[in-house]
Amino acid sequence: MLTIVFDLDGTLIDTAPDLIDTLNVTLMREGLPEVPYETARPLIGGGARGMIERALASEGRFSSKAEVDRLYAAFVAHYGEHIADRSRAFPQLEVALDGLSAEGHRLAVCTNKLEWLSIRLLNALQLAGRFAAVCGQDTFGVQKPDPEIFRRTVLRAGGQPQQAIMVGDSATDVRTARAAEVPVVAVDFGYSDVPIATLRPDHIISSFAQLPAVVSELRRATNVVDDQHFIGHKG
């Protein structure tokens, strides 16, 4: 069977409310105006540092590395205490995970969020136990789109990198999958700052209810033989 590797923010979990709340708390402590929700939501895929830098730039404020580091530390401290105030799993997620697990697939998370924050979030939502591995930007010292974080996540989950699929919501996830030479399924309800179809993933889903059937189709298309050998994806 396959190892199905999920992105976290904007893919498994709608984390935007808590991330944006934290961004605005951080900015207001600096005497800066809040960023409207709809403006900030597409920035999430660039990570917390990127959100902070772009928010500062929008106010014409020069941001040195030291300043961004300071604000990022304040962001993480606040976010860690409010990580699941309003964040929730996307609809139909748990049903899809149940179905995939019942078919024998391994499930893992590969995110550019810090590992401890990722585990805290999944624990808060009672989802952590569903995943054989949860790996973040600090787990291996590399982050997406470097394919090494994907490969190491699969190995930590007990799978083989050639027998894996990426599920994500952004250009970073698509680039990671292409670099790792595995299929990629994109959700269209995440935080991509461009229309997801323009990234040309192998499949696009609008609900997790569609994922088990797509995984079955990808297994057939990528020549999984006897559930043991995954020849690979030519994307």
What residues act catalytically? 7
Q: H helices of the chain, where?
A: 16-29, 37-40, 47-58, 65-81, 93-102, 115-124, 147-156, 171-180, 211-221
Sequence-distant (6+) residues with CB within 8 A of 25 are: 78
Bridge partners (DSSP) of residue 107 are: 4
Residues 144, 149, 153, 155, Cα dihedral to 10°: 150
Decide if 118 contacts 136 (C-beta within 8 A): yes
Q: Which two tokens stand for residue 94?
A: 């748990």
